[in-house]
Amino acid sequence: MSRNTLSPAAEQAISWMVRLRSGRDDARQQALFQQWLGQDPANAHAWEQLQRGLGRHYEVVRRAPGALRDTLLQAEVGRRDVLRGLTGLGLLGGSLWFAARSDSGRALTADLRTGTGERRSLTLADGSRLILNAGSAVDVDFSSGRRLLRLYRGGLVVQVAADPTRPFIVRSDQGDVRALGTRFLVEQLADATRVVVLEHAVRASLPSGAELDLAQGQAALLHARRIEPLAAGQAYRADWVEGRLSVLDEPLATVIDALRPYRPGLIRVSPQVRHLRVQGVFPLDDSERTLAALEETMPIRIERYGAWMTLIDAR
C-alpha cells in the first residue's frame, strides 16, 4: 500500500516555478535556476512538462499584489497547497504530466470525482449507496472476490449493500476500512484517515496488521503506525451530506480545512489565529457567508484577492 509521490525533479520544478514567478527573481536566482536545469536531464524534462501543463496560468502569481506573493513564498504554503489551489481554480488539466504517477495525479483521473463545491450521490453496481463530499476522488474496483473503493482525497459516506461473498473495503493512504454490514464515513486527512461508524460496525486495519473493530457511534483515526480511538459522538462530521459544517470546539485551521473543498483558490490561515477555537453550524454551499460569520464573531480579518487567494489574519 505504498504511496506514489512526485519525483524529486518534479518537486523542485514546482518550487522553482513559484520562486521565479514571484516577482522577486534576480540575476543570482536566475543563475541558480539555470544551474539546476543543467544538473540533470530529468530537471529540464520536469520543467518543460510543468510549463506545458500549466502554461500561462502562473502569470496570475507574478501580477498579484505584494501580500499575495509574500504568502506564496512563505514556507508554510507548500507544494500541496499550491497544487490544491490551482486544482480549485481549474488550472490543472487531466493531461498534467504527473497524473499517471502521483497520488495527486491519480486523484485527477480517478473513476469518481467531485469538484469545488460539488457533492455527488450515486448507486454503485452492487446496490450500495455512495455520497462523495466536495473535492473528493475515488477509484472503484469491484471483482468476483471483493468490492474496493480507493479514496485518494476528500470524504465519503457509504451505505453498504449486503453481499456475503464479497467484502466491502474502503482503502485510504493509511489503511483499510472493512464494512461489517454498515453505513460509515471515511475522510482522507493530510496525515491520517478519519472513520466514523453511523450504523452497525466496521473493522479498521493497517498494513502492519493492527486492527480495531468499531461499532455504531464509535470513531477512530488511522495513522501510519497506529489506530487512535476517538471520543463518541462524531456522527456530526457527516453533516456535510446535508450541506452543513458542524463544528464542536475545534481550531480555526481545522474549520478552514473543511471549507477548502467548497472555495476555489488558496486559503491561508495566519499562525497567529490558527488555534482559535470555533463552535457553530455553518453553510458549506455559501463559503462567503461562512467566512463573514467567522469574521464577525472572532478576532480575525479576512482579505480576498479575487478567486486566487483568501488570507485570514489577526484583527
CATH of the domain at 225: 2.60.120.1440
Question: Does some domain include residue 99?
Answer: yes
pTM of the prediction?
A: 0.73
User: Residues 263, 284: one domain?
Assistant: yes
Residue 235 pLDDT level (bands cut at 50, 70, 90): very high
User: Residues 55, 139: one domain?
Assistant: no
CATH code, domain with 248? 3.55.50.30
* Closest listed residue to residue 106, CA positions, set 5, 207, 1, 237: 5
Q: What gap in Å lies between CA 120 and CA 112, rounded to an integer?
A: 9
User: Residues 121, 94: one domain?
Assistant: no
In angstroms, what is the C-alpha Rg of the chain? Answer: 21
Point out the domain boundary residue: 200, 234, 268: 234
Question: Does some domain include residue 302?
Answer: yes
User: Residues 117, 186: one domain?
Assistant: yes
Question: Does some domain include residue 254?
Answer: yes
Question: Does some domain include residue 166?
Answer: yes
Q: What gap in Å lies between CA 127 and CA 115, rounded to an integer?
A: 24
Q: Provide the greatest CA pair distance for the chain.
A: 67
Q: What is the pLDDT of residues 110-125, one digit of tens each?
A: 899 999 999 999 999 9
- Report, as an integer, the average pLDDT of 130-150: 96
User: Residues 90, 26: one domain?
Assistant: yes
Question: Does some domain include residue 297?
Answer: yes
Cell 490544491 sits at which residue? 84
Question: Does some domain include residue 3?
Answer: no
Residue 155 in contact with residue 188, Cβ under 8 Å? yes
Quote the pLDDT of residue 6: 54
- Report, as an integer, the average pLDDT of 77-103: 49
In single-letter form, the type of residue at position 99 comes to A
140: Cβ contacts below 8 Å, ≥ 6 apart: 111, 112, 124, 125, 148, 149
pLDDT at 252 over 80: yes
Point out the domain boundary residue: 59, 80, 108: 108
User: Residues 252, 214: one domain?
Assistant: no
User: Residues 179, 99: one domain?
Assistant: no
Quote the pLDDT of residue 94: 43
Domain that holds residue 194: 112-234
What one-character DSSP code corresponds to residue 114?
-
Question: Does some domain include residue 2?
Answer: no
Question: Does some domain include residue 1?
Answer: no
Residue 216 pLDDT level (bands cut at 50, 70, 90): very high
User: Residues 80, 120: one domain?
Assistant: no
Residue 259 in contact with residue 267, Cβ under 8 Å? yes
List the single range of 62-71, 129-138, 154-163, 166-175 with lowest mean pLDDT: 62-71
User: Residues 67, 21: one domain?
Assistant: yes
Quote the pLDDT of residue 312: 93
Number of domains the chain contains: 3
User: Residues 126, 217: one domain?
Assistant: yes
User: Residues 101, 116: one domain?
Assistant: no
Point out the domain boundary residue: 108, 143, 175: 108
- Report, as an integer, the average pLDDT of 79-88: 53
Q: What gap in Å lies between CA 292 and CA 273, rounded to an integer?
A: 16
In this structure, how many other beta carbons lie within 10 angstroms of the beta carbon of residue 54?
19
Residue 51 in contact with residue 44, Cβ under 8 Å? no
User: Residues 258, 194: one domain?
Assistant: no
Q: What gap in Å lies between CA 214 and CA 217, rounded to an integer?
A: 8
Expressed in percent and rounded to 5, the helix, strand and coil fractions of the chain are: 30, 30, 35
Q: What is the pLDDT of residues 150-208, one digit of tens each?
A: 999 999 999 999 999 999 999 999 999 999 989 999 999 989 999 999 999 999 999 99
Mean of per-residue pLDDT scores for the chain: 83
Strands of 266-269's sheet in order across: 266-269, 309-314, 300-305
Residue 255 in contact with residue 247, Cβ under 8 Å? yes
